[in-house]
């Protein structure tokens, strides 16, 4: 049973959704969403955001009508004990994989841009105890870190106005030069940036008056959709398509042109500031994974957290070059798309059928 001291206001759903969606992906998503739609790919982000809002609506339709209000209970009710256990375990594995993706990608950026000879294990030994402190206490701590992860890095939005002095609208002309199918294909590549909201399936029971919090979830998704669209549009009018195909972290390239009297390398400041966005990402994924496994197998979440952080540590050391990290990102993105747009609707349908059958049987 979740007590009042462990629950948070419905308004915090906005913070949690936003904090889970804005992370390391903002540094380089522009270069891979152009694969299908080219200079029209910035239009794919509102489509991706609309798709995410639809999935949020489906999630709430399940969560609002479930006895426990989380993915463990939904799986057990809709799929049965054994199949539900398998699916819940796979979901937990995916959450942990996402935590590894965020952590390893951010460490790669630090290595390439700031400290080429940095020892991964040393940085991990600095970050992971901090993550354990966040997820080892009350859920309110996770929410508090997420709040600062939204507010503090939001100041970086102002930095994207600097590149406008070099903008060329011809880089995105003509509009609608690609088919709607190609734009939708590009939107599927952008889904990885929005994936963090799946933690809603785990933290829903911790929300006060959770059934009335759906609007805040949509507001959070709208905020991140507008943010990603804004950053993408700025990038597309600054870079031409040939440059975007060659550059890996387009956002860092935008920051590189900024020179302030007291700060010559603004991208260093941007990377450091984004740590406050990365930390909630990792904490939310790891906490959600631990909570899911704890609920499913009746094991102390604190004990599970030790194991999860050890797995993250080993996994980050295992992926040691750009190609492997790229494959990991691509794989998690594809699995995430299938999970959201195929598995979740099927699970909703099964859950709805079981509720109808149970209602008629009683």
Phi, psi of 263 (to 5 degrees): -150, 105
Q: Residue 230 — very low, low, confident or very high, per pLDDT cuts 50/70/90? A: very high
Q: Which residues contact 262 (CB under 8 A, 6 or more apart)?
A: none
190 pLDDT band, cuts 50/70/90, is confident
Report how far residue 325's alpha carbon sits from residue 105's, in angstroms, rounded to the nearest whole number.
7
**Which range in 23-37, 40-54, 251-265 is most confidently predicted, on average pLDDT?**
40-54
Comparing CA positions, the residue from 279, 299, 314 lying closest to residue 92 is 299
Residue 343 forms part of a structural domain: no
Terminal alpha carbon distance of the chain: 26
* Residues whose CB is less than 8 angstroms from the CB of residue 212 and which lie 6 or more positions away in sequence, other chains included: 10
Whole-angstrom distance, CA of residue 218 vs CA of residue 14: 8
Q: How confident is the model at residue 227 (pLDDT cuts 50, 70, 90)?
A: very high
Residue 114 scores a pLDDT above 90: no
In a domain, 208, yes or no: yes
Mean pLDDT, the chain, rounded, equals 90
Average pLDDT estimate for 213-217: 95
Mean pLDDT along residues 103-131: 89
- Spell out the alpha helix ranges (H) of the chain: 12-21, 34-37, 44-63, 71-79, 81-113, 120-135, 139-151, 180-194, 200-203, 214-238, 241-246, 250-256, 266-297, 301-318, 322-338, 344-361
Q: Give a yes or no: residue 135 inside a domain.
A: yes
Q: Is residue 353 in a domain? A: no
* Total structural domains within the chain: 1
**pLDDT classification of 55: cutoffs 50, 70, 90:** very high
The average pLDDT across 62-77 equals 91
For the stretch 156-165, pLDDT in tens is 898 898 888 8
25: confidence class by pLDDT, cuts 50, 70, 90: confident
- Residue, of 204 and 321, whose pLDDT is higher: 204
Residue 3, pLDDT > 70, answer no
What torsion do the CA atoms of 254, 259, 265, 269 make, to the nearest 10 degrees?
-70
Among 12-21, 118-127, 159-168, name the most confident range.
12-21
Is the sign of the CA dihedral 103, 109, 114, 116 positive or negative?
positive
User: Which DSSP state fits 8?
Assistant: B
Residue 84 resides in a domain: yes
Q: Is 39 domain-assigned?
A: yes
Helix (H, G, I), strand (E, B) or coil at 174: coil
Q: CATH code at 61?
A: 1.20.1740.10
What confidence category does residue 28 fall into, taking pLDDT thresholds of 50, 70 and 90?
Answer: confident
**8 Cβ contact list (under 8 Å, min separation 6):** 139, 140, 143, 206, 207, 208
- Judge contact between 135 and 306, C-beta under 8 A: no
pLDDT above 70 (res 1): no
Classify residue 38 as left (phi > 0), alpha (psi -120 to 50) or beta: left
273, with CB counted inside 10 A (0-12, 13-18, 19+), is: middle
pTM assigned to the model? 0.94
Give the span between the Cα atoms of 34 and 4, in whole angstroms. Answer: 46
Domain of 48?
15-334
Query: Is 203 within the bounds of a domain?
Result: yes
- pLDDT tens sequence across 267-313: 888 898 999 999 999 999 999 999 999 999 999 999 999 999 999 99
DSSP-derived secondary structure for 266-304 = HHHHHHHHHHHHHHHHHHHHHHHHHHHHHHHHT--HHHH
Residue 282 near residue 103, CB atoms below 8 Å: yes
340 within domain boundaries = no
Measured CA to CA, the distance from residue 332 to residue 97 in angstroms comes to: 8
d(CA 133, CA 120): 20
Instruction: Kindly write down the DSSP assignment for every residue of 94-110, as one continuous string.
Output: HHHHHHHHHHHHHHHHH
């Amino acid at each position: 049973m979740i007590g009042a001291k462990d629950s948070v206001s419905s308004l915090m759903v906005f913070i949690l959704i936003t904090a889970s969606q804005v992370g390391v992906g903002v540094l380089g998503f522009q270069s891979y969403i152009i694969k299908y739609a080219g200079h029209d790919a910035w239009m794919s982000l509102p489509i991706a955001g609309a798709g995410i809002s639809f999935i949020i609506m489906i999630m709430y339709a399940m969560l609002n009508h479930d006895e426990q209000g989380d993915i463990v209970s939904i799986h057990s009710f809709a799929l049965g004990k054994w199949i539900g256990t398998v699916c819940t375990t796979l979901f937990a594995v995916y959450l942990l994989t996402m935590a590894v993706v965020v952590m390893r990608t951010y460490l790669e950026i630090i290595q390439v841009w700031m400290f080429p000879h940095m020892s991964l294990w040393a940085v991990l030994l600095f970050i992971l105890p901090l993550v354990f402190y966040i997820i080892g206490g009350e859920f309110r701590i996770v929410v508090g870190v997420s709040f600062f992860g939204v507010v503090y890095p939001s100041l970086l939005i102002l930095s994207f106005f600097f590149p406008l002095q070099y903008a060329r609208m011809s880089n995105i002309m003509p509009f609608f030069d690609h088919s709607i199918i190609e734009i939708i294909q590009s939107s599927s590549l952008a889904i990885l940036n929005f994936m963090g909201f799946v933690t809603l399936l785990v933290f829903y029971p911790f929300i006060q008056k959770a059934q009335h919090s759906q609007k805040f979830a949509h507001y959070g998704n709208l905020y991140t959709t507008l943010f990603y669209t804004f950053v993408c549009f700025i990038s597309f009018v600054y870079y031409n398509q040939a440059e975007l195909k060659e550059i890996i972290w387009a956002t860092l390239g935008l920051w590189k042109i900024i020179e302030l009297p007291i700060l010559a390398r603004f991208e260093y400041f941007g990377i450091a500031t984004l740590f406050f966005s990365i930390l909630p990402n990792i904490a939310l994924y790891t906490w959600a994974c631990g909570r899911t496994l704890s609920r499913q197998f009746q094991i102390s979440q604190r004990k599970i957290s030790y194991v999860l952080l050890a797995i993250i540590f080993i996994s980050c050391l295992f992926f040691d070059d750009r190609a492997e990290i790229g494959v990991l990102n691509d794989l998690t993105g594809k699995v995430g798309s299938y999970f959201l747009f195929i598995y979740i609707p099927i699970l909703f349908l099964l859950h709805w059928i079981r509720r109808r059958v149970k209602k008629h049987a009683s």
